[in-house]
Amino acid sequence: MLLSLVIVCVGSVFLPTEMPKVNYYTFLPYFICSLFGSVMLLIISDRVKRIKSCAIKVLEYIGNHTMTILVWHFLCFKIVSLIIILVKGGQLLEVAKFPTLYENAPNPYWILYLTIGISIPLLIEKVKSSFFILIKRI
């Protein structure tokens, strides 16, 4: 795992960080760095899986509902942007900014985007599954 960490750290410093900047000469080191990063993530997740705590159960629940979060998070980002615009008094057209209001600057509302972007899709999933359970009983 230490070797993977060193390779990922060195690669993140000396290799380009954007896919369009990858060319024929940098593909192999980029691929090796990503491969070792994946291995490191698998090792860490295997070790974390052995720990039994509430935080691990939350992460496992989020992981089991990743597709729901991926489907709904963008719409939730737009809702957060709309709320920020209404509170701060901006123009309604700013909701169209991609993906959030502050695309090229530090986002002071990142924690709001994070919590809403995860919790609302999980709430939608919970309501949907409860609805289907209720329908099956009828």
Give the pLDDT of residue 20. 65
The pLDDT > 90 percentage for the chain reads 22
| Pairwise CA distance, residues 61 & 120, whole Å | 14
| pLDDT, tens only, 39-93 | 888 888 888 878 878 888 888 899 999 999 999 999 998 988 888 888 888 787 7
pTM (two decimals): 0.65
DSSP H/E element including 119: helix 110-137
DSSP string for residues in 89-104: T--GGGGGSSSSS-SS
Q: Is 89 left (phi over 0), alpha (psi -120 to 50) or beta?
A: left
